[in-house]
Structure 1
Amino acid sequence: MAYVDVGHNPWLIAVSFVVALVAGATGLFLTRELSRKSVLQKKLSVALAAVTLGTGIWSMHFVAMLGLRMPILFYYDAAITLVSALIAILIVTLALILLHFTRRTPTTIVAAGTLVGAGVLAMHYVGMAGMQLCQPVYSAVGVISSSILAIGLCILAFGIAYGTRSNRNIVIGTVCFGVAVTAVHFLAMAGTNFIELSGTHEIGPLISNETMAIGVILSSFAIFGIFLWVGSTLLMPAENQPAERQAASPPETLSTTKPSASDGLMSGSWLPCEREGSKVRVPASEIAFVRADGHYTQVYTSKGRYFCVWPITEASKRLLPDGFIKVHRSYIVNPSKVVLFERDKDKGRCSFEPADLPKVPVSRSHLKDAQSAFA
């Protein structure tokens, strides 16, 4: 059996990596702050993100395949190519449903990363089956190593992006996603040889490399751009602007003087807190919830609990205009930090990430507002 010599176009390899990065950034951006959106906005955001990430995986693969150089003519079957794209979109959709419509735990994140890693592999090998006039021959080492790499890197990407939903982690998760999709493709290709065939066995019409190059690149960036525009305009929660302003306020040393009636929001979106003898400003963007403690409050964040000299009424004046909601006479909650809302008859409770944060009760009088905020 004589194998065909294989090479790659370095420019198209670079373009394929850019496609993966743009897809990852767009998809992860679309799934930010879903707890602060309406039910319809949340579903639409997840749907757009699933199509974006799935299309990005598929597009990266075929742009890279267009860079494949062999001394023979070869084409792609359109029907099999379409099936491979649908596989990627479907499996990414299942992963995002796990992440955004169930309780998000480390196990859930691992399961979602495993699903996407398996989807990358399935899309790759189904897409390779659509090659005409040549036949790919796989090695066991190539299949096994690419499988391990796909699942491992996708778990890493989702673990970083969903461990803490910050802009920094989303950027790092985007890079991990782009590296994962690209590295899996080329590791799988390194373990693949090709033999020439005398005829085709197509299911649908054939597509030339030139036509596919134009179609895949243009359609991918058009989809990413349109979805990004929709997500940043039509699907953005009303509280988004204050939340972004809060995120820019760093912790700093301060006095613990209680606010005056005229203090209002002019002093910034933070609470004066103490922990282990140190006085700090805790930005509202880092607060999961605030609990009344007599004439003072306890402030809970992912980094731990802080003591605040303000009563719950003063904390509410500062935080409610910035998107927090009152769910109980003793609790105010940051909706962007809630990962699960559970209703029990005429009451409810909120869960947060990390899982060791206490659950917050939702009273009957605040149940309707909570359901609207956490849907």
Structure 2
Amino acid sequence: MLEVTHNNYLVLASVGIVLMASFTGLSLTRGASKLKVAQRKVTVAMAAIALGVGVWAMHFVAMLGLQLPILFYYDALITLASALIAILIMGVALLILHFRERTTTNVTIAGAIVGLGIPVMHYVGMYGIQLCRATYTLKGLLTAVAISLALSIAAIWIAYGKRDRMNIVIGTIGFSTAVVAMHFVAISGTSFWEVVGETSIGPLVRNEALAIMVLLISFLICGAFLLSGITFMHSAPQAAASRPLVAPSEMTEGMSDEDVFERPSFAGAMVNVPYEQDGQTLFVDGNAVAFIQAEGHYTVLYADDKKLFCPWSISEAESRLPSPYFIRSHRSYLINPALVSRFERKKDNGICHFDLNGAQLTAPVSRTKLATVRAALGV
């Protein structure tokens, strides 16, 4: 059996890489379930690559820090397969989280898939070592898998229990802990033996070549981390809250009236409408909302003299707010007829005026919605 030591600097580097990759993957998918299906697929694919490559890079940076008294190589084909397996497994978990209802069962299943995927990637990667054979104890293998499962399920529950900044950061730490703990617990239960000859099925890669490849991948992970960090710190809720209150006179172009899910329709009493501010979700009485304007995949509420960011899409707001309290006046606007102070006809369209504590605001009425709005206003 060969004596094993570790380069502490590379161990720390492996921890840093998985932290950055985990944060990138988990923050990329924030709000993804509100996107159109095609956009959601792209976002989920990018997050799966970030998480999968991060797990793989952590493993091989740590393996670069693994010091044995003999020269050994890696089978390039098996090494590549381990990376693709990690990406695929992370992708399956994210598909469940973003294309299925997030029930207790589905979130747990997604966490379990991640928890099993991490050791699968690890042991496939270990199988690629040449001129050196790794042997495992049953206790070490079961312990590593159990730790990975428990920590991964907990991390996914935290990260997806509430999609705010704090949960994503804590989930990042939990996911990274799962990857790092699994790797080193597994290594502690692994023995290395020198063997004569190699049984590779692909070209051999030396540690030096692997180091260059991992360095380039780590550079990409760092870049993705910086970009996602900027978006994370300047997210839509703060951007909307920071803008001054102005009258929206221009119609939003390129919006779709379809949402990614079929939403249940609520008839009857008015409901409270959520809005986000300072990292918190607050609620405003729907009766106090004058009108709602689409802004990207979200909406902005105009209530009293405030402009509030709402996580609902315009289609979701229409389905959740009961008619006739709110009606669609334009593809990008919902209005509360009870708070309209003046209606102005403009050829084949119109404008609804609102007096909100001295602030004069307007919402457009499109040609196709003109009859509906006039009927609601009684004009």
Q: Do Structure 1 and Structure 2 share a fold, with TM-score over 0.5? A: yes
> What is the CA–CA distance in structure 1 between the aligned matches of 2:148 and 2:214, rounded to whole Å?
22
Call closer, same or farther: CA 1:148–1:320 in 2, change over 3 Å.
same
Aligned to 2:25: 27
Letter in 1 for 2:69: P
1:16-55 equivalent positions in 2, closer than 5 A: 16-55=14-53
TM, length-normalised to structure 2: 0.68
159, 170, 182: which one pairs with 2:180? 182
Per-residue deviation, residues 184-236 of structure 1 (Å, max 9, x unmatched): 0000000010111011111111111111112112223315525874x799xx8
How many residue pairs match? The answer is 298
1:1-375 equivalent positions in 2, closer than 5 A: 3-223=1-221, 225=223, 229=227, 242-245=236-239, 298-299=272-273, 308=285, 311-314=287-290, 316=291, 323-324=298-299, 336=311, 360=320
Call closer, same or farther: CA 1:75–1:306 in 2, change over 3 Å.
closer
Letter in 2 for 1:195: W
Alpha-carbon contact 1:35-1:336 (below 8 Å) kept: no
Letter in 2 for 1:244: Q
Per-residue deviation, residues 28-51 of structure 1 (Å, max 9, x unmatched): 121011244333322111110001
> What is the CA–CA distance in structure 2 between the aligned matches of 1:248 and 1:183, rounded to whole Å?
41
TM, length-normalised to structure 1: 0.69
> What is the CA–CA distance in structure 2 between the aligned matches of 1:174 and 1:227, rounded to whole Å?
12
Call closer, same or farther: CA 1:369–1:175 in 2, change over 3 Å.
farther
Residue range with higher mean Cα deviation, 162-171 or 29-38: 29-38
Larger-gyration structure (1/2): 2
Aligned residue for 1:145, secondary structure, equals helix
Identity %: 42
Asked which structure has the greater RCO (Cα within 8 Å, sep 6+), the reply is 1
Aligned residue for 1:201, secondary structure, equals coil
> What is the CA–CA distance in structure 2 between the aligned matches of 1:320 and 1:131, rounded to whole Å?
55
Aligned residue for 1:324, secondary structure, equals strand
Residue 143 of structure 1: CA displacement? 0.5
Aligned residue for 2:158, secondary structure, equals helix
Aligned to 2:256: none
Letter in 2 for 1:215: M
> What is the CA–CA distance in structure 1 between the aligned matches of 2:123 and 2:64, rounded to whole Å?
16
Name structure 1 gaps, 5 residues minimum.
Answer: 250-262, 267-290, 327-332, 339-347, 351-358, 371-375
Alpha-carbon contact 2:23-2:225 (below 8 Å) kept: no
Residue 244 of structure 1: CA displacement? 2.6
Aligned to 2:371: none
Call closer, same or farther: CA 1:40–1:15 in 2, change over 3 Å.
same
Letter in 1 for 2:157: G
Letter in 1 for 2:237: A
> What is the CA–CA distance in structure 2 between the aligned matches of 1:324 and 1:93, rounded to whole Å?
29
Call closer, same or farther: CA 1:242–1:191 in 2, change over 3 Å.
closer
Call closer, same or farther: CA 1:264–1:213 in 2, change over 3 Å.
closer
Residue 301 of structure 1: CA displacement? 8.2
> What is the CA–CA distance in structure 2 between the aligned matches of 1:175 and 1:361, rounded to whole Å?
38
Residue 70 of structure 1: CA displacement? 1.0
Call closer, same or farther: CA 1:43–1:6 in 2, change over 3 Å.
same
Residue 26 of structure 1: CA displacement? 0.7
Aligned to 1:279: none
Residue 13 of structure 1: CA displacement? 0.4
Residue 360 of structure 1: CA displacement? 3.7
> What is the CA–CA distance in structure 2 between the aligned matches of 1:52 and 1:17, rounded to whole Å?
15
Aligned residue for 2:191, secondary structure, equals strand
